[in-house]
Amino acid sequence: MCEYHEGMEENLREILMGGQSFSWREEEDGLFSAVLNEHVYRIKSIDDAAADPFLRSYFDLDYDYQKARCEIAAKDEILSRAVESTGTLRLLHQDHWIATISFILSQNNNIKRITGLYDRLSRRYGHEVEPGYFSFPSAEEMKGTTEQELRDLGVGFRAPFILDAIEKRGILDEIDGLSYEESEKKLMGIKGIGPKVASCILIFSYQKREGFPMDVWMKKVMAEYYPDKDPSYFHPYEALSQQYLFSWIRSQG
């Protein structure tokens, strides 16, 4: 029987606040809230998502994360430590447009600042769903914005990338059904999207689980613990293994 078979809690805070999504906020009462799908969602545990069709898909509740977690932990000692210290993680299934702009914003940035930029874009171009809660703007809502307006909001060098994404929004509807390599090539047709950003979009929006984003944290992990390995070593759980290693190495400082 898998050592991690039962009783390992879902790490909801890391799932929602650990760099997969920038839509969620942690409220003072311990709830997590987000404006998604024209609705303000407030949840305290994964169980709160089970009865809602949108959240069920968003949290990928029909995928066997218990089996995946067990097989990842059994692969080597480092992964075992990462799984044990992190708890259960999931890969979110986000809206294509939201994920694309979110990870364009993520370039050379940290989670707190990305979340702040996400909020500013929502308040400037989105619409109020409940008092104080704003939707992330659609490409249509952002049409007509200028590079200077975006720079004034603090997005910096990413402003022309966002404008190009608005112009090429249709690319995001051409990816479902393509191979990972074809999908990556399509996404990289948008200015400013390279392999790392494309990988994040493909994992966290298109559920392409073979993605393995390489940021500074993961380069450190691979250099220190897997110097003779590449992402194929983690097959068939490349993306989920990456999330466990990413969360674990950040917790180690």
> Which pLDDT tens digit goes with each residue over 173-188?
999 999 999 999 999 9
Output phi, psi for 59, to 5 deg: -90, 5
Question: What CATH number should be reported for the domain holding residue 115?
Answer: 1.10.340.30
121/83 same-domain check: no
Q: Does a structural domain hold residue 7?
A: no
**Overall number of domains in the chain:** 2
Q: Is residue 218 part of a domain?
A: yes
Share of the chain above pLDDT 90, in %: 94
In a domain? residue 16:
yes
pLDDT at 8: 62
**Domain-located, residue 55:** yes
- Which of residues 189, 204, 219 is at a domain's end? 204
Q: Does one domain contain both 192 and 110?
A: yes
| Domain shared by 122 and 34, yes or no | no
In this structure, is residue 26 part of a structural domain?
A: yes
pLDDT (average), residues 186-199: 98
Q: 125 with 109, same domain?
A: yes
Domain boundary among 204, 221, 242: 204
Flag whether 5 is in a domain.
no
pLDDT score recorded for residue 28: 87
Q: What is the pLDDT of residue 2?
A: 62
Where b means 16+ CB within 10 Å and e means fewer, 89-125 reads bbbbbbbbbbbbbbbbbbbebeeeebbbbbbbbbebb
Please tell me whether residues 217 and 239 are part of one structural domain: yes
Domain membership flag for residue 43: yes
pLDDT in tens, 107-160: 999 999 999 999 999 999 999 999 999 999 999 999 999 999 999 999 999 999
- The pLDDT of residue 5 is 47
DSSP assignment letter at 157? G
Where is the domain boundary, 204, 225, 242? 204
CB 172, CB 100: distance < 8 Å: yes
Question: Do 151 and 200 sit in the same domain of this protein?
Answer: yes
Where in the sequence is the domain holding 189, given as residue range(s)? Answer: 96-204
- Same domain for 106 and 87? no
Residue type, 118: Y
153, 68: one domain: no
Q: Please indicate, yes or no, whether the overall pTM of this predicted structure exceeds 0.85.
A: yes
Report the CATH number that the domain containing residue 59 is assigned in CATH. 3.30.310.260
Average pLDDT over the chain, rounded to an integer: 95
